[in-house]
Amino acid sequence: MKRFYFCLISISLFFSFNSYGQEFMVKGKIVDAATGSPIEAATIYVETLKDSTLITYTITNAEGIFALEGKTAYKKARLAFSSNGFKSQSKEITLKPVIEIGSIRMEEQVQQLEGIDLIGERVPITVKKDTLEFNADSFKTRPDATVEDVLKKLPGVEVDSDGTITVNGKEVNQVLVNGQVFFSTDPKVATKTLSKDVISKIQITDTKTKEQEFVGDDGDGENKTINLTLKEDKNKGYMGRLSGGYGTDDRYQANGLVNYFNETQRISVLGSSNNINNPGFSFDEIYEMVGNSGGRSVRFNDSGGFSVGNMSFGFGQGITTSSTVGTSYADQEKGKYRIDGNYFYSYSDSYNDEKIARENILPDGSYFTDTETSFVGNTNSNQGSANLEFDVDKTTRISVRPNLSVNNTNSSNAENTVSTDEDGNLLNDNTSLQKTDGFQRNFRNRVEIMKRLDTMGRYVRVYFNNDNRVSDSETLLNSERNIYGDNASQNILDQRTIIDNSNDSYEIGASYRQPMNKDLYLDFRYKYENNEQKNERSVFDFDESTGGYTFNSSLSSEFDFNVKKHVPEVGFGSNGKKFRFNVRARLEQNDLKNEDYIQSTSFSKDYSNLLFSSYANYDFGNNKRMGLHYRSQLSVPSVNQMQPVPNVSNPLNIIQGNPNLDPQINHNIYLNFNNYNWKDRTGLFLWANMGIQEDQIVSVTTTDEDFIRTTTYQNVKGNYNSAMGINYSKQIKKDSLYTLKFTLRPSASLNNRVGFTNGSRLEARTFAFRPRAGILFNYKEMLELEPEYTLVLNTTRYNLDNVEDVDFTTHNLSFKVTSYWPENLVWGNDITYSYNGNLGDGFDKDALFWNMSLGLQMFKKKATLKVLAYDLLNQNINTRRTTGQDFIQDFQGTALRRYFMGSLTIKFDSFGGKGAPNKRGRRFMRF
């Protein structure tokens, strides 16, 4: 099989590289007609005369010089020049090996008159001060492509198999439509549901906070935002997708999405129901009927739940049956308001069976626990949020961001654990059944007022946050614990636990900026937080004499935990054109108080810590940028880590807090270098980070002679984590024949974890090396190949001589083949081989995971009839190995296995309004 795929790739590459065509090069310089100064980042591109298909493009350097190289079968083409703020130019040329055009003098763009629309040429890429803008139509895709498909064609943009988008190595954390949230900031909701043919521009910028957006500051460059602008003729009307399928083992999926656009207004409604772990928001024509437990590749830690932005549905592991309905609304008027909101209702059922084999490391040896669990549960969720922004005048903005969620949960978990020594002798076992009914309500809101005080950058900001949570639950626990050996005993628990928990947090803050000159500024900030948690934990033991439950005061608690925080802060920074930096110092003063009314205990703590944060970004020009970030963060211990009341829900591991804990301080340093060569379509991204956990709060375990563990918490030093990596990409495009993109992403990490067991210090130092390489090859939109290989070399070294070090290797080789030939027939294959080395006996180490689909597009590609085979070889697994300072653990959980499904997807749309011009490549005016 490997030989077959290698031959297929080789044949495809042979035909593509040897396609007929001639090479050409256009050389020249772009200058300002008025001043004669060079124009940097001007776009030069060549397109066909027949249908304006993009052949190739480049941009000018700092001296305005360019050298445009390409290869095409056409003898004549249109050569065009464009730059932001200047009039575009174009002319027809005869292609030959070298074309010298000298200096092109570009005139400044005259401001558009009121009542006149000026429509220019279709420029493939525009480089602005802080924005990359791509013309979607300049990047050829198949007619039924989604936004995700066109993103894969863009230089410097990569889309992983799970839909994660990176731009020059930086992750995209939100995708907007016409500058507005589309259901949520989760990028996949927009990229997997919207068709490419409704998108005009794809704009990529650094992600900004609300404050940076209002005052005009640049983002820190660590994340990217994509804004999709709709075509003029698609800005009024509606578009929808309906999809449904049914298969073997009663597997099914049905989903639908309708979007209504009316200029700046958008209304969207979606619905989904399935039992294949799919949120139902994807309308991929080839692969959308696949689940998430294994998905398109074998993942050793997959979850059965899913999420949209910060809203989650399902429990997280196993197989989930879910039904969801949601609606979203957005509208805006420039200079007056911008509003968006969404609401989701979801119901889900989940089940998951797990098997865990764990080696527990002790100073003088090890013992082993084997656990099997069976979990079932359901959730009933209502979640809604909104973002409301109002511009009172040109200098004042008020924003309100409420979020409300109400959830009901019900679960049952049966567990059986057996412990043995190194010779296989039985030590203890425990069988338990735990049933829980829960209710959670959370309301968050942020009100913010920002005002610019002058045009020099002076501004003031005040805000108020509240976070109010209620979490109630009732749990019935039945367990039987047996201890074997000389001290044989049996312990039976029949307990009822009722928890009423509320957490109310309020924060008020203000900031003021004082400019010192054009670039330098001082920031002054202050915030006050008040967090109060009230928890009533009532434990009742079954009394056989009375036939009822009696109150257990030793395991119950009723506490009031309060944290007050004062944080004054001062910062100094610069917003220079090339060099930007900011240095901040803040004093965090925490006052903790806890009182338990049942245990008659109380404790209080005062922490005062001086913390720093800073960043520096330097722009070298020509898309080269370097960044250095440092941040220190304070983590106050939670009440569960400090509350000295034992938790016996697991009779083999009793947990009790430590009221003498100090806060944990995390220091993190991050360095990156970014370079993208638009001329060569080559991207390089280097990054490294180092994290040091000062006084980290870790679990401390004591194991008695019966191998019953008691766990508490303690501050330790010596924990750190570090990582570094390289992202390299190269895109080759030859006319409209093929596109070839290489990606190489090696990375390495070194972590040190410290803990204590039976009074001895345990350290585990783990080193991992992860080389990763991939290719995306597309031939005439008829054949697409995506091979990718990832290798992980993992070593763990322990400080105890009696503990054997751990080395293991994992391999992940994936190969996606999609064929769009013959016309209207789509054949997709998604194959992944995974090997997880060094798993224990009884665990599956490797699997060959294969999804296949065959789709027939009908009615002018408005409908697709498809047959899907999921996990064709029935080898999907959900296994993984993890290591810690005092354990080595193998895990295997429920995975979605083989099924076959038939489905039908229907598209419909209707757009009206003025409509966009149907002429391309020429300039004209419309009155």
pLDDT at residue 21 in the model: 63
Bigger pLDDT: 22 vs 387 = 387
From the number of C-beta atoms within 10 Å of its C-beta (0-12, 13-18, 19+), residue 130 rates as: exposed
Instruction: Indicate the helix (H) or strand (E) that contains 6.
Output: helix 2-17
The token pair that represents 657 in the structure block: 């807090």
Q: What are phi and psi of 471, to 5 degrees?
A: -140, 110
Residue keyed to tokens 């300039």: 923
pLDDT interval class at 6 (50, 70, 90)? very low
3-state helix, strand, coil in the chain (%, to 5): 5, 65, 30
**In 3-state terms, what secondary structure has residue 653?**
strand
**In 3-state terms, what secondary structure has residue 220?**
coil
H helix count then E strand count, the chain: 5, 54
pLDDT at residue 297 in the model: 30
The token pair that represents 903 in the structure block: 């489905």
The token pair that represents 298 in the structure block: 């074998």
Q: Is the pLDDT of residue 142 over 80?
A: no
User: Using CA of residue 692, residue 688, residue 167, residue 811, what is the dihedral sign?
Assistant: negative
766 Cβ partners below 8 Å, 6+ apart?
A: 749, 750, 751, 752, 753, 794, 795, 796, 797, 883
CB 818 within 8 A of CB 47: no
Write out pLDDT tens, residues 729-751. 888 877 767 888 889 999 999 99
DSSP secondary structure code for residue 661 in this structure? P
Residue 724 forms beta bridges with which residues? 688, 748
CB 569 within 8 A of CB 526: yes
Question: Which residue type does 360 have?
Answer: N
Write out pLDDT tens, residues 267-311. 999 898 999 987 655 545 444 544 444 333 332 233 333 444 444
Strands (E), 487-600: 489-515, 520-543, 548-551, 557-575, 579-596
Write out pLDDT tens, residues 886-908. 888 888 899 899 999 999 999 88
CA–CA separation, 724 vs 721, rounded Å?
Answer: 11
pLDDT interval class at 669 (50, 70, 90)? very high
Strands 579-596 and 624-635: unpaired
Considering the chain, what is the average pLDDT of its residues? Answer: 84
CA–CA separation, 131 vs 206, rounded Å?
Answer: 8
Write out pLDDT tens, residues 763-819. 889 999 999 999 999 888 889 999 999 999 999 998 887 778 888 889 999 999 999
What is the full DSSP assignment across 138-207? GS---TT-BHHHHHHHSTTEEE-TT--EEETTEEEEEEEETTEEBSBS-HHHHHTTSBGGGEEEEEEEE-
pLDDT at residue 29 in the model: 93
CA distances from 507 to 405, 478, 564, 587, 923 (A): 20, 42, 10, 16, 55
Write out pLDDT tens, residues 708-734. 888 899 999 999 999 999 999 888 877
CA–CA separation, 387 vs 400, rounded Å?
Answer: 6
Residue 662 forms beta bridges with which residues? none
CA–CA separation, 421 vs 423, rounded Å?
Answer: 5
Cα pseudo-dihedral 175, 179, 184, 188, rounded to 10: -20
Residue keyed to tokens 């419909």: 908
pLDDT at residue 129 in the model: 61
CB 498 within 8 A of CB 557: no
Mean pLDDT of 575-583: 89
Mean pLDDT of 204-233: 83
Percent of the chain with pLDDT over 90: 43
Residue keyed to tokens 């409908």: 863
Cα pseudo-dihedral 150, 155, 161, 166, rounded to 10: -110
CA–CA separation, 147 vs 404, rounded Å?
Answer: 30
pLDDT at residue 305 in the model: 39
Mean pLDDT of 312-327: 77
Q: Is the pLDDT of residue 247 over 90?
A: yes
Strands (E), 212-310: 224-230, 236-247, 252-262, 265-274, 306-308
Strands 760-770 and 709-716: unpaired
CB 405 within 8 A of CB 383: yes
**In 3-state terms, what secondary structure has residue 637?**
coil
pLDDT at residue 395 in the model: 93
Q: What are phi and psi of 656, to 5 degrees?
A: -145, 135
Planar angle of CA 685, 689, 692, nearest 5 degrees? 175
Among residues 823, 866, 878, the alpha carbon closest in space to that of 288 is found at 866
Among residues 621, 720, 598, the alpha carbon closest in space to that of 669 is found at 720
Write out pLDDT tens, residues 452-468. 999 888 999 999 999 99
Strands 696-703 and 747-757: parallel
Helix spans in 192-331 (H): 210-215
Percent of the chain with pLDDT over 70: 89
From the number of C-beta atoms within 10 Å of its C-beta (0-12, 13-18, 19+), residue 926 rates as: exposed
Bigger pLDDT: 251 vs 188 = 251
User: Cα-atom radius of gyration of the chain, to the nearest Å?
Assistant: 30
Bigger pLDDT: 915 vs 210 = 210
Residue 201 forms beta bridges with which residues? 135, 229
**In 3-state terms, what secondary structure has residue 50?**
coil
CA distances from 772 to 133, 578, 618, 721 (A): 29, 33, 29, 21
What is the full DSSP assignment across 363-417? TTEEEEEEEEEEEEEEEEEEEEEEEEEEEEETTEEEEE--EEEEEEEEEEEEEEE
Q: How many other CB atoms sit within 10 Å of the CB of residue 883?
A: 19
CA–CA separation, 289 vs 298, rounded Å?
Answer: 16
CA–CA separation, 83 vs 81, rounded Å?
Answer: 7
Q: Is the pLDDT of residue 605 over 70?
A: yes
CA–CA separation, 843 vs 130, rounded Å?
Answer: 51
CB 581 within 8 A of CB 616: yes
CB 443 within 8 A of CB 403: yes
Bigger pLDDT: 596 vs 686 = 686
DSSP secondary structure code for residue 913 in this structure? S
Burial letters 2-35, b for 16+ CB under 10 A, else e: eeebeeeeeebbeebeeeebeebebebbbbbeee
Strands 664-677 and 624-635: antiparallel
Mean pLDDT of 120-136: 72
The token pair that represents 182 in the structure block: 């589309």
Residue 828 forms beta bridges with which residues? 818, 853
